[in-house]
Amino acid sequence: MPSTLPYGSWPSPLSPERVAQSSPRIDGARIVGDEIWWGESVPSEGGRVAVRRRRADGAVETVLPAPANARSSVHEYGGGAWTASDDGELYYVEKTDQRVYALAPGGEPRPLTPASAGVRHGGLSWQHGSLLAVREVHGEARVPARAIVRIPLDGSEAEILAEGSDFLVHPALSPDGRRLAWTAWNHPDMPWDATTVRVRDLATGTVRELAGGARRAPLQPVWMADDELLYTDDPDGRWNLFRLRIGEDPQAVAPADADTGGGVWVLGTRWFGATSDGRIVAVRTDGADEVVEIAPSGVRPLDVPVCAGASIDDVRGSRALVSGSDATGLAGLWVIDLDSGDAELVTGGDHPGIEWMPVARALTAEGPHGPVHAFAYAPTSPDHVGPADERPPYVVLVHGGPTSHVGPSPSVKTAFFTSRGIGVLDVNYGGSTGYGRAYRERLRGQWGVVDVDDVAAAASALADAGLADPARLAIAGGSAGGWTVLAAVTNTEVFSAGISRYGVGDARALAEDTHDFEARYLDGLIGALPEAEAVYIERSPLSHPERFRVPLLILQGTEDRVVPPSQAEAIRDALVEHGVAHAYVLYEGEGHGFRRAETVVDSLQRELGFLGAVFGFETPGIPTLALD
Nearest to 103 by CA among 116, 93, 118: 93
Q: What is the pLDDT, as a whole number, of residue 67?
A: 95
268 — alpha (psi -120 to 50), left (phi > 0) or beta? left
Task: Please tell me the distance from the alpha carbon of residue 627 to that of residue 97, in angstroms, as a whole number.
Answer: 40
pLDDT, mean of residues 1-9: 93
CATH architecture observed for domain 22-256: 6 Propeller (2.120)
Whether residue 414 has pLDDT greater than 90: yes
User: DSSP for 50-109?
Assistant: EEEEE-TTS-EEEEE-TT--B---TTTT----EEE-TTS-EEEEBTTT--EEEE-TTS--
Task: Please tell me the distance from the alpha carbon of residue 253 to that of residue 249, in angstroms, as a whole number.
Answer: 13
All structural domains of the chain with their residue ranges: 3-15+353-615, 22-256, 270-349
CATH architecture observed for domain 3-15+353-615: 3-Layer(aba) Sandwich (3.40)
pLDDT, mean of residues 321-344: 95
pLDDT digits (tens, 9 = 90+) for 53-107: 999 999 999 999 999 999 999 999 999 999 999 999 999 999 999 999 999 999 9
Q: What is the pLDDT, as a whole number, of residue 23?
A: 64
**Averaged pLDDT score across all residues of the chain:** 95
Task: Please tell me the distance from the alpha carbon of residue 4 to that of residue 6, in angstroms, as a whole number.
Answer: 7
DSSP β-ladder status, 26-32 and 35-42: antiparallel
- The torsion defined by the Cα of 16, 22, 24 and 26, in degrees rounded to 10, comes to -130
For 375, residues 6+ apart whose C-beta sits below 8 A from its C-beta are 360, 361, 362, 363, 406, 407, 408, 425, 426
Whether residue 600 has pLDDT greater than 80: yes
Whether the pTM exceeds 0.85: the reply is yes
Bond before 188 cis per omega within 30 degrees = yes
pLDDT digits (tens, 9 = 90+) for 7-43: 999 999 999 998 888 767 899 999 999 999 999 998 8
Tell me which DSSP letter residue 226 carries: T
Tell me which DSSP letter residue 546 carries: G
Tell me how many degrees the CA angle 604-607-613 measures, rounded to the nearest 5. Answer: 140
Nearest to 241 by CA among 229, 255, 228: 255
Measure the N-to-C terminal CA separation of the chain; round to a whole number of Å: 41
Task: Please tell me the distance from the alpha carbon of residue 595 to that of residue 67, in angstroms, as a whole number.
Answer: 16
Question: Which amino acid is residue 379, in one-letter code?
Answer: P
Which helix (DSSP H) or strand (DSSP E) does residue 451 occupy?
helix 450-464
Whether residue 393 has pLDDT greater than 70: yes
pLDDT digits (tens, 9 = 90+) for 343-370: 999 998 777 888 999 999 999 999 999 9
Task: Please tell me the distance from the alpha carbon of residue 589 to that of residue 595, in angstroms, as a whole number.
Answer: 10
Task: Please tell me the distance from the alpha carbon of residue 397 to that of residue 428, in angstroms, as a whole number.
Answer: 9
CA atoms within 13 Å, Cβ hemisphere of 605: 16
Task: Please tell me the distance from the alpha carbon of residue 320 to that of residue 30, in angstroms, as a whole number.
Answer: 9
Q: How many CB atoms lie within 10 A of CB 529?
A: 16
pLDDT digits (tens, 9 = 90+) for 142-185: 889 999 999 999 999 999 999 999 999 999 999 999 999 999 99
pLDDT, mean of residues 230-258: 97
Contact 377, 363 (CB under 8 A): no
pLDDT digits (tens, 9 = 90+) for 535-586: 999 999 999 999 999 999 999 998 888 888 999 999 999 999 999 999 999 9
Tell me how many degrees the CA angle 283-269-144 measures, rounded to the nearest 5. Answer: 155
Alpha carbon 286 to chain centroid, angstroms: 17
Whether residue 115 has pLDDT greater than 70: yes
